């Protein structure tokens, strides 16, 4: 198999209700397109969620890091390329390139996924499942951005608490991975988005939260351009962490 | 021009992060697809927002009513047909059919739009603009649902107040029409969505709200299946009203 056939490419357009006040696609919507691309790519190759659910396994997103030089503008076409970089026993690394309307990369993303057994909630061995066929798709296309980092938040001062509502909950009954991104973006004032854009955005998904949970946000301002955020449910357990670098 | 060529049809798929805990597309996402279809259809015929903005006019959505027998499930393809029913001096009626993966209608929608001059904020005369060419697209395809109704809310008890944040604001600096729908859906408990589905959803957009506004919600429970909602900004001015009928 050539590298070319291992890489999926999926076209999109920046829809009017998916851009922010600057007219650029929001990070939440880009995250949605990135995760959709992962799903399409896996499904086309026989290891997508729909197939897996039938055999009682599902993919769980563990890490996502997006690094951008630009963001598509309203009505602009863009595309997302995705490929598998590595497969380990319990994790797989999947990378992405975001291409502008001319097909030039304007950013990249890295993600880390595990597969779990829906009955036991335990991770599955990726090298055994489906005869390890996922390893046939490993591809050495370069992804010139840093790997997801370890995020540590020291602040004990909750800056915001929301209650998980109907619109926050996905088909699995969990707080939707994309909605965390939107709520995190909403911690920052409009003025910041007027002056700066997001250069890098990282998410580390740690645990699930559910309908009715109190979801609280804690933030360290590492410097005027870098923020580390921790999200906890019901005042205790960490559900995810995020790092945002503006420029 | 035949009716067929006056009707636009746009295909979509119910993406994983766009369905709710029941696995069905959310009303907010369907609303987004409906408004996108309106935009595509108008743009292809030379009276879309991008074209109009250049000449300093823009479409403003006044009313939206969606009536459904079913909602697409996760991963299912669906399509939206749209056409112009009527053009008056200050308003135009645009209708929609929502087709399931077999191409059968599972619901319809009606919308009412005005066009305003971006400098004066005054409505434009649709029968004069672009030589009145929009009237060439009037089409007598049936739309067998009730017209948007007049919504009246008596309650003076605010049941929820949110602050308009970054993710709520669209490219015009206004509270995003789709985000109102999501916030309204979030007024209802999960239990209701477990037992019932939304049969009819109406929005009447009255005024704009902006970043930082306090947006409050008032609700009349007309009967256990029918709710009327009024949304006000900063405790005073009505920004929109909504009617939801469950079954």
Which residue is closest to B76 within chain A, CA to CA?
A50
Yes or no: say if A112 and A63 are a contact pair by the CB < 8 Å rule: yes
Using an 8 Å CB-CB cutoff, list chain A residues near B193: 166
Q: Complex ipTM, two decimals?
A: 0.94
CATH 3.10.129.10 in chain A is located at: 3-137, 158-246
Residue B159, classified by CB atoms within 10 Å of its CB into exposed (0-12), middle (13-18) or buried (19+), is exposed
pLDDT per position as a tens digit, A149-177:
999 999 999 999 999 999 999 999 999 99
| Contact (CB<8Å) A32/B15 | yes
State the average pLDDT over residues B137-147: 96
User: What number of CA atoms fall less than 13 Å from residue B92's CA on the CB side?
Assistant: 28
pLDDT per position as a tens digit, B73-107:
999 999 999 999 999 999 999 999 999 999 999 99
What does the alpha-carbon distance between residue B245 and residue A232 come to, in Å, rounded to a whole number?
Answer: 35
Q: Which CATH class is domain B3-137?
A: alpha beta
Yes or no: say if B236 and B176 are a contact pair by the CB < 8 Å rule: no
What does the alpha-carbon distance between residue A201 and residue A207 come to, in Å, rounded to a whole number?
Answer: 19
Find the CB nearest B17 among A15, A19, A178. A178
| Contact (CB<8Å) B167/A178 | no
Chain B contact present for A44, CB below 8 A? no
Q: What are phi and psi of A69, to 5 degrees?
A: -95, -20
The continuous run of DSSP H or E covering A218 comes out as strand A214-223
Indicate the average pLDDT of chain A. 94
**The CATH number, out of the four listed (3.40.50.720, 3.10.129.10, 2.170.120.12, 3.30.1540.10), of the domain defined by the range A158-246:** 3.10.129.10
| Positions of E strands within B123-207 | 158-163, 198-205
How many C-beta atoms lie closer than 10 Å to residue A209's C-beta? 21
Give bridge partners of residue A223 from the DSSP assignment: A226
Quote the pTM value: 0.95
The pLDDT value recorded for residue B57 is: 85
User: What number of CA atoms fall less than 13 Å from residue A232's CA on the CB side?
Assistant: 14
The pLDDT value recorded for residue A131 is: 75
């Amino acid at each position: 198999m050539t590298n070319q056939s291992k890489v999926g490419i999926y076209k999109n357009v920046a829809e009017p209700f998916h851009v922010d006040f600057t007219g650029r696609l929001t990070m939440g919507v880009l995250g949605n397109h990135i995760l959709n691309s992962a799903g399409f790519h896996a499904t086309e190759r026989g290891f997508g969620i729909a197939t897996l659910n039938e055999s009682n396994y599902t993919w769980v997103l563990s890490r996502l890091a997006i690094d951008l030089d630009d963001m598509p503008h309203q009505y602009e076409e863009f595309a997302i390329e995705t490929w598998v970089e590595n497969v380990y026993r319990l994790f797989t690394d999947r990378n992405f390139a975001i291409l502008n309307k001319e097909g030039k990369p304007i950013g990249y993303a890295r993600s880390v996924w595990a597969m779990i057994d829906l009955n036991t909630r335990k991770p599955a061995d990726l090298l055994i499942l489906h005869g390890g066929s996922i390893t046939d798709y490993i591809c050495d296309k370069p992804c010139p951005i840093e790997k997801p980092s370890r995020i540590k938040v020291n602040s004990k001062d909750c800056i915001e608490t929301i209650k998980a509502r109907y619109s926050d909950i996905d088909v699995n009954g969990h707080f939707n991975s994309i909605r965390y991104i939107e709520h995190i973006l909403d911690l920052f004032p409009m003025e910041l988005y007027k002056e700066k854009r997001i250069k890098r955005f990282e998410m580390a998904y740690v645990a699930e939260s559910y309908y009715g949970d109190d979801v609280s946000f804690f933030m360290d301002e590492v410097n005027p351009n870098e923020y580390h955020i921790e999200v906890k449910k019901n005042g205790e357990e960490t559900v995810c962490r995020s790092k945002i670098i503006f420029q």
